[in-house]
Amino acid sequence: MRTIQNVAKVNSEEHFADPPFLVLASLAEGPKHGHAMLNDIDIMCGRRLGPGTLYGAIGRLERQGLIEPLPVDDRRQPYRLTRAGHAAFAARLGVMQRIVAIGAARLAPL
């Protein structure tokens, strides 16, 4: 039986799960290869993406022109944000900041 306490407990244990956004957030710090992104994302939000999830997100972002590959470095393929990727990430952060501010204000009375 799902009680309000159980729902609150389950929801508080969930992690943010938007792989393309997490890749953009990781690359906002500077160019990285896949393994470095996996580690950075794990540190950022406590979620370890699988390789298929990571490289699927990288492929989508690359096709959208939001990230681009750099020359291979010792068998590792680094990526970086493009100008469009930087702008898209900044715009998405702005929306998220508004959501957080409104959500926090709505919770305050409780």
Q: Tell me the residue range of the domain where 37 lies.
A: 4-107
Alpha-carbon 20 to chain mean position: 6
In the chain, the number of structural domains is 1
Q: What is the rounded distance in angstroms from the CA atom of residue 101 to the CA atom of residue 13?
A: 21
CATH of the domain at 42: 1.10.10.10
Scan for tokens 């992690």, then name that residue: 15
Each residue's pLDDT tens digit, 33-87:
999 999 999 999 888 899 999 999 999 999 999 999 999 988 999 999 999 999 9
Q: What is the rounded distance in angstroms from the CA atom of residue 35 to the CA atom of residue 66?
A: 19
**Which of 82 and 109 is assigned the larger pLDDT?**
82
- Give the H/E segment covering residue 108: none
